């Protein structure tokens, strides 16, 4: 079994499957290779299970071909490639239509749609629950769905437009609650639950399916 070995002054062995589904072994400086590989063999079932999980979560890059499916508000819609139409991406409620291009056209359309649909939700929750923020910025980030600065500037990942509306609402509420609590304390989660009682289901959806929103 191939693996990356990292030795240090640590006293114990540890195994990790990185984002590329590769095995990383961390071991004490003087531990023999024989004992390391014996440990790897003992953990083979865990390694196989974890590797399979990481492979499943690895983004499948879109090819922007006919009938390929794309997410929008939690549902998948096919792509129709029609070079006779005007440039840009269009959506008729049942399918996407694209004449030329691919990733940049989808990114532009997703950002425009997120601004139109999600920003009014931000205003709604902010006003209803008196959660004041300074500015909002829309970004395309690989590791964050949202953030709130110390001065209450909120960043939202517009790729969330691919997720169900309730998931978008959850992230919005989550970041607005950070205008009051700058951590993930019990008080923070209590406030989230007061505003959005079923947040755990949407938090779980994002953890399980978030990698699908990075497939462009």
CATH of the domain at 78: 3.30.2010.10
Position 160 scores a pLDDT of 97
Closest-CA residue to 9 (of 24, 31, 40, 36):
31
Position 100 scores a pLDDT of 82
Query: Beta partners for 80?
Result: 97
One domain, residues 127 and 151: yes
One domain, residues 78 and 149: yes
Q: Can you tell me the distance from the alpha carbon of 19 to that of 42, in angstroms, rounded to the nearest whole number? A: 22
Q: Which of the listed residues 57, 78, 96 is the one where a domain comes to its end?
A: 57
In a domain, 83, yes or no: yes
High-pLDDT (> 90) share of the chain, %: 62
In a domain, 64, yes or no: no
Q: Using the predicted structure, report yes or no on whether residue 59 has a pLDDT greater than 60.
A: no
In a domain, 40, yes or no: yes
In a domain, 63, yes or no: no
One domain, residues 143 and 184: yes
Reported as a pLDDT band with limits 50, 70 and 90, residue 196 is: very high
> CA-CA-CA-CA torsion for 89, 90, 93, 94, nearest 10 degrees?
-70
Q: Using the predicted structure, report yes or no on whether residue 62 has a pLDDT greater than 80.
A: no
One domain, residues 84 and 124: yes
In the chain, the number of structural domains is 2
Position 20 scores a pLDDT of 65
One domain, residues 14 and 42: yes
Q: Which of the listed residues 57, 79, 94 is the one where a domain comes to its end?
A: 57
One domain, residues 28 and 104: no
One domain, residues 79 and 42: no
One domain, residues 30 and 104: no
- For residues 119 and 103, the answer to whether their CB atoms sit within 8 Å is no
Over range 34-60, report the average pLDDT. 77
Position 207 scores a pLDDT of 86
In a domain, 62, yes or no: no
Q: Using the predicted structure, report yes or no on whether residue 58 has a pLDDT greater than 60.
A: no
Which structural domain range is residue 12 located in? Answer: 4-57
Averaged pLDDT score across all residues of the chain: 89
One domain, residues 74 and 15: no
pLDDT in tens, 92-106: 999 999 988 888 999
Q: Using the predicted structure, report yes or no on whether residue 55 has a pLDDT greater than 60.
A: no
In a domain, 151, yes or no: yes
One domain, residues 101 and 201: yes
One domain, residues 21 and 75: no
């Amino acid at each position: 079994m191939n693996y990356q070995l990292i030795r240090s002054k640590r006293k114990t062995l540890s195994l990790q499957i990185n984002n590329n589904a590769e095995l990383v072994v961390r071991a004490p400086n003087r531990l023999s290779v024989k004992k390391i590989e014996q440990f790897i063999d003992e953990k083979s079932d865990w390694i196989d299970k974890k590797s399979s999980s990481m492979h499943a979560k690895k983004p499948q890059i879109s090819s922007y071909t006919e009938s390929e499916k794309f997410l929008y508000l939690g549902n998948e819609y096919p792509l129709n490639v029609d070079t006779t139409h005007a440039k840009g991406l269009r959506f008729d409620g049942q399918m996407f239509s694209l004449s030329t291009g691919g990733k940049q056209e989808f990114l532009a359309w997703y950002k425009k749609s997120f601004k139109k649909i999600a920003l009014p939700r931000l205003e709604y929750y902010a006003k209803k629950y008196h959660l004041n923020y300074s500015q909002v910025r829309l970004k395309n980030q690989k590791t964050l769905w949202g953030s709130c600065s110390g001065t209450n500037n909120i960043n939202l990942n517009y790729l969330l437009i691919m997720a169900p509306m309730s998931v978008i609402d959850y992230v919005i509420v989550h970041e607005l609650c950070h205008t009051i609590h700058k951590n993930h304390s019990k008080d923070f989660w209590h406030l989230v639950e007061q505003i959005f009682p079923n947040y755990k289901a949407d938090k779980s959806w994002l953890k399980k399916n978030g990698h699908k929103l990075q497939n462009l």
